[in-house]
Structure 1
Amino acid sequence: MTQHTSILIVGAGQAGAMAAAALRGLGYGGRIVMAGGERHAPYERPPLSKSVLADAGQDGKIGVQPASFYADQGIELRLGACVTALDAARHVAHLADGSAIGYGACLLATGGNARVLPALPPGTPHVHYLRSLDDAARLREAMQHVGELVVIGGGFLGLETASTAAGMGLKVTLVESADGLLGRALPPELGAWLADRVRAQGVTLRLGCGIAACDTRDDGVHLQLADGSVLHAPLVVVAIGLTPEVTLAAGAGLALHPQNGGIQVDQRCRTSAEGIYAAGDCCSQYQPLFGTEVRLESWQSANEQGRIAAASLLGVAAEPAALPWFWTDQFGCNVQMLGAAHPDLRYAWRGIGAHDAAAPKFMLLGTRHGRLSHAIAVNAGGDLRQLRSLVGHDVTTCLARLCDETLPLRQVVREWQAEAERSITL
């Protein structure tokens, strides 16, 4: 790393901020420049659809680091600075204001953009997308003046937004083109349980209904669904996914994954170009538990890749990435997921909670060929942590005991570990 006089981080989000902190933590004393297109210092995005959407007082409480951190650590934070081109050969980044930044090494932490519904592009009256703090502020303001909201998209963001709006007293309808909720992340039986809970919380679900046509009027948006029905929405939130922001990478000739569109990186977050690294929602990386290359759009993945990229920039070893972990808070449930979901997993339940219970608590354990691949905890995050050592291992002999809610998980896991140690010794 001594040959690099400076490090440029493009993107002032979770991954970029964590990488900058990790660089200083590893003893790097050189120049760090972080350029971000937003006017806000790096902040955490998960609260945007939850606490921030409900309360303007939360806006200043979601920083990745304290406000003084960047100055204290000698990190040059350039906000409202859009990098428009990257000259990989000359190690120069060009900015929208005509200036340029030379660098020794560069980390692309450009994140992603809200996927756009062509019939309702950003800027359409009465239509909102939720990706940034400014987006959340605009939506929050709009929600003060209507009594009804339609959310298009039944993924995590759409469900969280619907949950927050319902909690604020709005009448909410959620439209999802798939027949169930969160089909790529949850088994059908849990998706059905969640749908029942969403309805029990007063939200109208329109599943298996795509948008056939849209008509924007002075009083809102008229949505014609694929089944022929029509909804009138004084306010619409489109939450149909994320596209990786790879414009700079593509312009610089970096390799992109042909299916998921992310910047391809190796296990050390190195791209196909010498001296350029990538981390966060913008990048695609092989994940052993998934058995393929994927983009992991999560707070944890941004943190882990930022940490690993920092070590790689300095040429030092880093601890391997932690197991994939994701959480969502919606409709009175904290749902945490550990490991990797696969279509052919067999799920077993540990407990069961009524969908209309105040605080249901249970878990699902997903196995394939006897090995634990995926664990889902509903209001049981403490129990989920007990299972980390079991993911990827054969749990055939103890699965029934793991699912017996009368037995403490810690005890069952310790018994499994003891048996595994005996097997190794033999």
Structure 2
Amino acid sequence: MAQQAPILIVGAGQAGAMAAAELRKLGHADRIVMVGGERHAPYERPPLSKAVLADAGQRGQIGVHPASFYAEREIDLRLGTTVTAIDPARSVAACTDGSEIHFGACLLATGGSARALKALPPGTPDVHYLRTLDDADALREAMQRADEILVIGGGFLGLETASTAVDLGLKVTVLESADTLLGRAAPAELGDWLAQRIRARGVDLRLGCQIAAIEPQSQGVRVQLADGTAWQVPVLVVAIGLTPNSGLAAGAGLALHPGNGGIRIDERGRTSAPNIYAAGDCASQFHPLFGTEMRLESWQSANEQARIAATSMLGLEAAPAATPWFWTDQFGCNVQMLGAAHAGIRYAWRERPPGDAASPKFMLLGTLDGRLRHAIAVNAGGDLRQLRALFGLPVEEHLARLCDAALPLRQLVREVQADATGRTASLTTL
């Protein structure tokens, strides 16, 4: 390959690995250097709180690409190394091993770090944060020695961890300060239903609670609520969100979002500095569907932003990002979400089983101004895929039928599409 300044990818995670693959797929034949601080080749993080946490044998199944991928495609993968500084004016990155990398273009795919409690910094005995493969290994080993865990945080990660612990036979307590579960990503209807299911599985779920004190003990951790309720548990898991790793970008003078702390990028993945791009959990971008700029912490978003950034680095036009999609597996349910929650969205149920149902299956359809903006499927991923065609279309007149589980969804979707197409054609001829 030609010995010119390489494309540098900072971060060996989902976004970085997918961007490297896309560059080669698009025919980029010059050098690619990928630098990552972990000792593991790029792996997928969603299994860490599920399959990998339950079974160490799953560790080898979560690579973003096969182990031979990087050598076969001549991608210079440098693990256990961190980029400490970037000079945009000189297009140079400095690394912890003392080397400098001169780049033609750079992708920042630095991800994020688990948000920590000040009273319990990472490394506190019997306290676990779950972000990396090593974190999952440590937590799994601790759970194998324990009969009980307490999880602080009722978001996706906390609930997935609690679900895995229940399946392994542990006694589980979950503490969440909000009054509903998943409040930032899902409507109260789903949060309330999920809370019923979690309690039916034997979890001591406490909502709207405030922690008054946390005290590491010689063995375990003591947690006390403001109402006086207290536990002393052998394993404490803290799952209270993610902090973007944007310090490198800040040091290079790149623009950050003042609210979410992410590296600001445009629709093509470009940062405020020429030839520097960003993708994944560290990136903040305007999303038309949400109507605001935000960081989307999801597997799909990392993939889409990486694809678009890689295409843009080569001076090509990329297809627009797909409608945001997210999934979680917990308490016997595969939950998939398409679109986004908005203030003012109204939700309607397509079936509504009880929370303790053995095999629940239902959907929640969210409309805003009569148009489909958010859809949630519980054990109904096939139905959700059919609804993709209706996103952004007026569905209000058809909503009652769309929510009638006795009617075939595929046919209903076709009818709604035909109606929307007919209306558009009528307006065009006026």
TM over 0.5: yes
**Which amino acid letter does the alignment assign opposite residue 285 of structure 2?**
Q
- Matched ranges for 1:354-373 at <5 A: 354-373=354-373
**Which amino acid letter does the alignment assign opposite residue 101 of structure 2?**
I
Task: Give the C-alpha shift of residue 4 in structure 1.
Answer: 6.7
Query: In the alignment, what sits opposite 1:94?
Result: 94
Task: Give the C-alpha shift of residue 186 in structure 1.
Answer: 1.6
Task: Give the C-alpha shift of residue 234 in structure 1.
Answer: 0.9
Q: SS of 2:232's equivalent?
A: strand
- Native 8 Å contact 1:92 1:102 kept in 2: yes
**Which amino acid letter does the alignment assign opposite residue 383 of structure 1?**
D
Task: Give the C-alpha shift of residue 121 in structure 1.
Answer: 1.0
Query: In the alignment, what sits opposite 1:336?
Result: 336
Consecutive unaligned residues in structure 1, runs of 5 or more: none
1:359-392 Cα distance to aligned partner (Å, 9 max, x none)? 1000000111111110000000000011112111
Task: Give the C-alpha shift of residue 354 in structure 1.
Answer: 1.5
Query: In the alignment, what sits opposite 1:26?
Result: 26
- Matched ranges for 1:24-423 at <5 A: 24-423=24-423
Consecutive unaligned residues in structure 2, runs of 5 or more: none
Query: In the alignment, what sits opposite 1:16?
Result: 16
- Native 8 Å contact 2:348 2:364 kept in 1: yes
1:11-52 Cα distance to aligned partner (Å, 9 max, x none)? 000000000000000000000000000000000000000000
Distance (Å, rounded) in 2 between the aligned partners of 1:424 and 1:192: 38
- Native 8 Å contact 2:3 2:30 kept in 1: no
Q: TM-score, normalised by structure 1?
A: 0.98
Task: Give the C-alpha shift of residue 424 in structure 1.
Answer: 2.9
Q: TM-score, normalised by structure 2?
A: 0.97
Distance (Å, rounded) in 2 between the aligned partners of 1:75 and 1:317: 23
Distance (Å, rounded) in 1 between the aligned partners of 2:395 and 2:184: 24
- Native 8 Å contact 1:3 1:104 kept in 2: no
Q: SS of 2:53's equivalent?
A: helix
Task: Give the C-alpha shift of residue 420 in structure 1.
Answer: 2.1
- Native 8 Å contact 1:383 1:409 kept in 2: yes
- Native 8 Å contact 2:85 2:94 kept in 1: yes
Distance (Å, rounded) in 1 between the aligned partners of 2:198 and 2:406: 28
**Which amino acid letter does the alignment assign opposite residue 425 of structure 2?**
T
**Which amino acid letter does the alignment assign opposite residue 364 of structure 1?**
L
Q: Count matched residues.
A: 425
**Which amino acid letter does the alignment assign opposite residue 293 of structure 1?**
E
1:266-298 Cα distance to aligned partner (Å, 9 max, x none)? 000000000100000000000001000010000
Comparing 91-100 and 264-273, the one that deviates more: 91-100
Distance (Å, rounded) in 1 between the aligned partners of 2:86 and 2:210: 39
Distance (Å, rounded) in 2 between the aligned partners of 1:173 and 1:60: 30
**Which amino acid letter does the alignment assign opposite residue 28 of structure 1?**
H
Q: What root-mean-square deviation, in Å, do the aligned CA atoms of Structure 1 and Structure 2 show?
A: 1.1
Task: Give the C-alpha shift of residue 423 in structure 1.
Answer: 2.3
- Native 8 Å contact 2:325 2:339 kept in 1: yes
Distance (Å, rounded) in 2 between the aligned partners of 1:5 and 1:319: 27
Q: After TM superposition, where is structure 1 displaced by more than 6 Å over at least 4 residues in a row?
A: none
Distance (Å, rounded) in 2 between the aligned partners of 1:141 and 1:347: 41
Task: Give the C-alpha shift of residue 356 in structure 1.
Answer: 0.7
- Native 8 Å contact 2:393 2:420 kept in 1: no
Distance (Å, rounded) in 1 between the aligned partners of 2:233 and 2:45: 26
Comparing 174-183 and 206-215, the one that deviates more: 206-215
- Native 8 Å contact 1:162 1:172 kept in 2: yes
Q: SS of 1:398's equivalent?
A: helix
Distance (Å, rounded) in 2 between the aligned partners of 1:201 and 1:233: 20
